[in-house]
Amino acid sequence: MSSEYLIEVEDLKQYFPIKTGFFKTTPLKAVDGVSFQIRPGETLGLVGESGCGKTTVGRSILRLYEPTAGTVKFRGDKITDKNIGEHRKNMQMVFQDPYSSLNPRMTVEDIIGEPLDVHKLYADKKERRDKILGLMELVGLNAEHATRYAHEFSGGQRQRIGIARALAVNPQFIVCDEAVSALDVSIQAQVINMFEDLQEKLGVAYLFIAHDLLVVRHISNRIAVMYLGKVVEIGDADEVYDHPVHPYTESLLSAVPIPDPVIARNSKRIVLSGDVPSPMNMPTGCAFRTRCRYATDKCAEVCPSLEEKGNGHFAACHNR
C-alpha cells in the first residue's frame, strides 16, 4: 500500500485512567481526537502550552503509549501491536531531556551502536564502528568522544548523541520532542541548523514538538496548534503565523518577542483570562470558551470541528 503521505494520524485518542475514589477512575483526556498528515521530507511543527498533549501525541504515534482509539498509518500501512516491530526502524524519537534519555553506564559508542545491535545492521565489528563514527561526524561529534560517558558532555552535545542514536537505523520519520528547549539559545541554533541539514541530506520527515513559536516557524513547513488535547488550528507555517484564525493562536503569537523595539512597542499583547481547565473536567462545547473573548452560547453547546478557512488553513472556531 502506498500513500502520498508518510504519516497519517486519524482521530487519535489517548486517555489515562486516574483514580478519583476507592473504586472509581476518571479518564484524563490527554489527546482527544487529533488528526493530521505528514508528507515525506516535511516538518510539521506541533505547538501549544505545557500539558496540552503534544508529547503524548508523539509517543502515541510511535506506540510508546498504547493509543485508546484512532489509527496511525505509515505509508498507508496501519500500525498495530503486531507490526510495530517492523516499523521501529522507520520511526524514531529524539527525547526532550538529553540528561535522562541516555544510559549513564554506556559509552557514547554503545549508546549510538545499540539500535545497530538491535536491528543487526552490520556484518562485523569494523563495519559497526565505522557506522558509529560516521553518525558521530554527521552530528558534529569527534571520534575521540566515542569512549566517553554521557555525563562528561554538555547539554548540546548530549542532544547530538541522542540525535545520532535516532539516525542510526536510517529512519524516514523522527519525532523531535522539545529537542532544543533544554539548550542554550546559541546551541539551539546549531542543533536546529543540524536538523535542517540532515533533512536535506537524508530526506527525513519531522514532527517537531515545541512551545517556542519562533523556532517552530523557522524549521516547519506547516504548524499545528494544540489546546487541551485537540488541534485547534493547522496550516502552512507562514499562513498560520501571519494570519492566525483561532483566538488561542492569536494569543500565543502575541506573546512572541519582537526584535524591533518600535514594532514591539506598538504591538498589543493578548492576555488570556482565567486558568487552563483540567483535562479531567473539561468544559462543555469548545474547551477554550472559558478564556475566549469571542465566546457565545453556541460555543458552550457545540464543540467546533476543524474547517477550512482557505489555502489549506484549518481552524476550529464558530466565530472566526
Q: The domain spanning residue 34 has which CATH number?
A: 3.40.50.300
135 in a domain, yes or no?
A: no
**What local confidence, expressed as pLDDT, does residue 2 receive?**
53
Residue 71: inside a domain, yes or no? yes
Residue 301, number of CB atoms within 10 A of its CB = 11
How far is 186 from 252, CA to CA, in rounded Å? Answer: 23
Query: What pLDDT does 1 receive?
Result: 46
Q: Report yes or no on 273 lying in a domain.
A: yes
139 domain-assigned: no
The tens place of each residue's pLDDT in the chain, 320 residues long, gives: 456 899 999 999 999 999 988 888 989 999 999 999 999 999 999 999 888 999 999 999 999 999 999 999 999 999 998 898 889 899 999 998 888 889 999 999 999 999 999 999 899 999 999 999 999 998 889 999 999 999 999 888 999 999 999 999 999 999 999 888 877 888 888 889 989 998 999 899 999 999 888 889 999 999 999 999 999 999 999 999 999 999 999 999 888 877 778 877 777 778 787 788 888 888 899 999 999 888 889 999 999 999 998 888 999 999 88
Domain for residue 47, yes or no? yes
In angstroms, the CA 37 to CA 106 distance is 36
Q: Identify residue 144 by its one-letter amino acid code.
A: E
Euclidean distance between the first and the last CA atom of the chain, given in angstroms as a whole number = 39
Report pLDDT for 265. 77
Q: Determine the structural domain holding residue 230 and report its residue range.
A: 7-90+171-315
Give the model's pLDDT for residue 99. Answer: 83
**Do the domain assignments include residue 114?**
no
Q: How far apart are the C-alpha atoms of 180 and 88, rounded to whole Å?
A: 23
| DSSP-assigned letter for residue 24 | -
Q: Is residue 289 part of a domain?
A: yes
Segment holding 177, helix H or strand E: strand 173-177
C-alpha cell at 122: 552490520
Reported as a single tens digit per residue, the pLDDT across 221-233 is 999 999 999 999 9
Q: Is residue 33 part of a domain?
A: yes
Q: What is the tally of structural domains in the chain?
A: 1
